[in-house]
A and B are shown apart, each in its own frame.
Chain A
């Protein structure tokens, strides 16, 4: 654009120069007195015209030396004129294109997420108005986005705070639930009621626990504490701790991955728990190491059930919080956050979980984690101040 502007400026300037010379040539014969004032000798030479009243020698063949000087003069003057025009063209194009360039740069930074960008306004032309409009838009957008972010942060903070606040009353309830439940004097309806209360308290505990876990991910405070972990041991430990006997596993012995054990346990427990609750038996779990394009190996973990599988419309949403594939279905014993938490934990490891259906039926959840994503944190605990003496 700059080149085109400069060229057009030069062309216009040259045309204007030629046109004015031509006009001058036309009208000068009628105003001889003007000729001595404005008509330089060079023009008459250039155009080969004969104008009376000039101080030049009378018409005839000009002597060669004079002609040579005139040509040099013309060339020098022409060069100077061209340089001046080009300079002016540059300045003019800068004046026009400068603000346009700054606008483009500002727009680029803005789409990159920097809403604080503003352009220095200058002048009073159309471009200046454009710059002012841009600044106003940037400022409005900044306010709106800021407002949205504040509201979102408040909502997250609120969810976290509520969960924390629920913990204290739950502590009292959890502490006494067993007393009620195990009380020998309670029989019949009273015993059934006590059992129900206890069961729901434990359910509420899980829900609050999961909400707090999710709010840690939202707040960005979830941390990874990794250790070299034997996958087979972690898997069997997870299943044993929950007394899940109906799961068949195929995990090679000696498969080691650098994982946060607690978080890895949560991933397995949520996927297997989900398969046991919503899928059909048998639930099969396999693990293997796989090479990856990044050069670093991946740990691939599959949890497959033999139920009806996931509806196509449900697949994109299974990791959404509180998502229920079948809205009519009664509340299950899970919190509704299990798969969302599993997915967040996989991402924290630098991996991901995919949901789909097996060609032979049943749902399959595939976890992919880097085998050695993070340097082991063993022995690198934060420096602690000695307590007391």
Chain B
């Protein structure tokens, strides 16, 4: 059973979401504050975090940043505004996806399933691209012999792009393939994730070697 850590300060929203998620078959551990959530992560293993942005004390961005220091657990931001500030802030903090309040349970369910699927293993031997080694069976990525820690979304994006090296993917295609947003996803998810991935694997993010920008169209892997 999938464990969801639900961080939401409003009691009604927390209870409502908890009820809906339980009914969908999830095990839910609610947390009222960011501090409680960070403690909870230490105590028990959660599979995914659903994190409200506006929290008393530590806000959702800060909670996400602190989580990212020690964990690659998928994080879905729950934004009350759907405003650019919230969305960009959440993505900068390392969130994998976001949903806008009020969210329909089936939408949240689909997003949770999609982030979890990104951890699925695909058996195939390790490939070497320049100084980067991608092992699809153990889901490890090493750069110059050192293992790189990637979130499931970053990993999935790298796997999709490197799986068809030199092929150009539009942002919409990547949203379909990585985020599984069936229709009209937010292309900033892709841009933000590319930036994070570059920060981890490129020597110089402004002169990317692996994840290259194809202006006016999208991104491609290589040629290395």
- Give the B-binding residues of A (Cβ under 8 A): 164, 167-176, 178-179, 205, 208, 212, 216, 221, 223, 225, 227-228, 237, 241, 261-262, 265, 376, 378-379, 381-389
Q: Which residues of A contact B84 (CB under 8 A)?
A: 221, 223
Does B129 have its Cβ within 8 Å of any Cβ on chain A? no
Contact check, A388 vs B68: say whether CB atoms are below 8 A apart. yes
Instruction: Report, nearest first, the 8 A-B pairs whose CB atoms are least far apart.
Output: A387-B94, A381-B191, A388-B68, A386-B199, A172-B16, A379-B213, A175-B16, A172-B12
Q: Which residues of A contact B102 (CB under 8 A)?
A: 167, 170-171, 173-175, 205, 208
| A228-B217, A376-B216, A382-B88 known; A171 vs B183 contact (CB < 8 Å) | no
Mask of B37-73 contacts with A, CB within 8 angstroms, 1/0: 0000000000000000000000000001100110000
> Contacting chain A: which of B75-83, B120-128, B135-143?
B75-83
Contact check, A387 vs B187: say whether CB atoms are below 8 A apart. no
For residue B136, give the distance in angstroms from its CB to the closest CB of chain A. Answer: 22
Q: Which residues of B contact A178 (CB under 8 A)?
A: 20, 23, 104-106
Docked CA distance A130–B16 (Å): 68
Does B155 have its Cβ within 8 Å of any Cβ on chain A? no
Q: Which residues of B contact A382 (CB under 8 A)?
A: 88
| A381-B188, A381-B195 known; A170 vs B92 contact (CB < 8 Å) | no
Q: Which residues of A contact B213 (CB under 8 A)?
A: 378-379
* B contact face: mostly helix, strand, loop, or mixed: helix
Contact check, A389 vs B149: say whether CB atoms are below 8 A apart. yes
Contact check, B16 vs A171: say whether CB atoms are below 8 A apart. yes
Docked CA distance A385–B219 (Å): 19
Docked CA distance A378–B212 (Å): 12
Docked CA distance A221–B84 (Å): 9
For residue A3, give the distance in angstroms from its CB to the closest CB of chain B. Answer: 60
Docked CA distance A228–B106 (Å): 31
Q: Which residues of B contact A212 (CB under 8 A)?
A: 81-82
Q: Which residues of A contact B184 (CB under 8 A)?
A: 237, 241, 261-262, 265
- Give the A-binding residues of B (Cβ under 8 A): 10, 12-13, 15-17, 19-20, 23, 64-65, 68-69, 80-84, 88, 91-94, 101-106, 149, 170-172, 183-184, 186-188, 191-192, 194-196, 199-200, 213-219
Contact check, B88 vs A173: say whether CB atoms are below 8 A apart. no
Contact check, B20 vs A168: say whether CB atoms are below 8 A apart. no
Within 8 Å by CB of A179, from B10, B20, B83, lies B20
Contact check, A164 vs B20: say whether CB atoms are below 8 A apart. no
Q: Which residues of A contact B105 (CB under 8 A)?
A: 174-175, 178
* A contact face: mostly helix, strand, loop, or mixed: helix
Docked CA distance A173–B188 (Å): 29
Docked CA distance A389–B69 (Å): 6
List the B residue with the shortest CB-CB distance to A219. Answer: B83
* Extra A-B contacts (11), CB below 8 Å, given A171-B10, A386-B196: A168-B10, A168-B80, A172-B17, A173-B102, A176-B20, A205-B102, A262-B186, A379-B219, A384-B195, A385-B92, A387-B68
Contact check, A168 vs B13: say whether CB atoms are below 8 A apart. yes
| A228-B216, A378-B171, A388-B94 known; A164 vs B183 contact (CB < 8 Å) | no
Docked CA distance A37–B195 (Å): 100
For residue A167, give the distance in angstroms from its CB to the closest CB of chain B. Answer: 5
For residue A100, give the distance in angstroms from its CB to the closest CB of chain B. Answer: 51
Q: Which residues of A contact B170 (CB under 8 A)?
A: 227
Within 8 Å by CB of B215, from A175, A376, A387, lies A376
Docked CA distance A379–B199 (Å): 15
For residue A146, give the distance in angstroms from its CB to the closest CB of chain B. Answer: 27
Q: Which residues of A contact B19 (CB under 8 A)?
A: 175-176, 179
Q: Which residues of A contact B194 (CB under 8 A)?
A: 381
| A237-B183, A241-B184, A383-B195 known; A261 vs B172 contact (CB < 8 Å) | yes
Contact check, B88 vs A175: say whether CB atoms are below 8 A apart. no
For residue B49, give the distance in angstroms from its CB to the closest CB of chain A. Answer: 14
Q: Which residues of A contact B23 (CB under 8 A)?
A: 178-179
| A388-B68, A388-B69 known; A170 vs B101 contact (CB < 8 Å) | yes
Q: Which residues of B contact A387 (CB under 8 A)?
A: 64-65, 68, 92-94, 196
Within 8 Å by CB of B101, from A168, A225, A385, A388, lies A168
> Which of B10, B17, B102, B200 lies at the interface centre, i.e. has the most chain A CB atoms within 10 A of its CB?
B102
For residue A195, give the distance in angstroms from its CB to the closest CB of chain B. Answer: 16
Can you show 14 pairs from A to B with CB atoms below 8 A apart? A164-B80, A175-B16, A176-B19, A241-B183, A262-B184, A378-B213, A378-B215, A384-B91, A385-B199, A386-B195, A387-B94, A388-B68, A388-B69, A389-B149
